[in-house]
Structure 1
Amino acid sequence: MEKHKIFAMSFSNVYPLYIAKAEKKGRTKAEVDEIIGWLFGYSQEELDRHIEAETDFEKFILGSPAPNPSRTLIKGVVCGVRVEEIEDPLMREIRYLDKMIDELARGKAMEKILRK
């Protein structure tokens, strides 16, 4: 089976879109970074290195230092697909991030976004 094109896309190309979506709704880059840190376990320095290195999504996710075990609590629909029903584990991780950014942009409290 052919890999989805987003896997080869540079995370640094999509990252500004996440920030723009959040900022358009009055949220911050820091909150986007906090979500990424919570979900994948990246420190701010590690995240910055991946952005600078233009790491592709596949390497960014597969190289996650500490994927949060609570990420499986993320439920709902992204792009018309239920996140919890996505079979491809890599795509599911990308959609977890998309779902969390959507929640941020909709004004949900960080405590709820981070499943605390």
Structure 2
Amino acid sequence: MAEHRIYGTSFASIYPLYVTKVERKGRERAQVDEVITWLTGYDADGLAAAVADERDLRAFFAQAPAMNPAADLITGVICGIRVEQIEDTLMQQIRWMDKLVDEVARGKRMQSILRA
């Protein structure tokens, strides 16, 4: 079976879409950075490097310093699929990131988004 094409998509192509989405809803880029760093363990320099070297999502998550153990608490529907039921680890990580950015865009409290 062929691998999903999203895996080969560069983080650099997705990141500005996330930023545009939240800014359109009156939120800030810093909030996108906060949820992505919470999920992946990247710091600001690491995120900038991921954008600069245009690594694909497979490499982005493989090179993540430390996936947050609380990421398992991310639940809900994204693209019509429950994120907690996704069996493919990489696809689940991508959808977790999508879900967090969606929650930022909807104006959910950061404490709630970060599962604190």
TM-score norm. by structure 1 comes to 0.98
Structural RMSD (CA): 0.5
State the match for 1:24 in structure 2.
24
SS of equivalent to 1:20: helix
What pairs up with 1:8-87 in 2 under 5 angstroms?
Answer: 8-87=8-87
Q: Which runs of 5+ in 2 are unaligned?
A: none
Equivalent residue pairs, number:
116
Shift of residue 93, structure 1, vs aligned partner: 0.2
Q: What percent identity do the matched residue pairs reach?
A: 51
Shift of residue 63, structure 1, vs aligned partner: 1.0
TM-score norm. by structure 2 comes to 0.98
Structure 2 distance, partners of 1:32, 1:115, is 15
Structure 2 distance, partners of 1:24, 1:82, is 25
Q: Which aligned runs of 4 or more in structure 1 are off by greater than 6 angstroms? A: none
Q: Which runs of 5+ in 1 are unaligned?
A: none
Pairing 1:105–2:105 present: yes
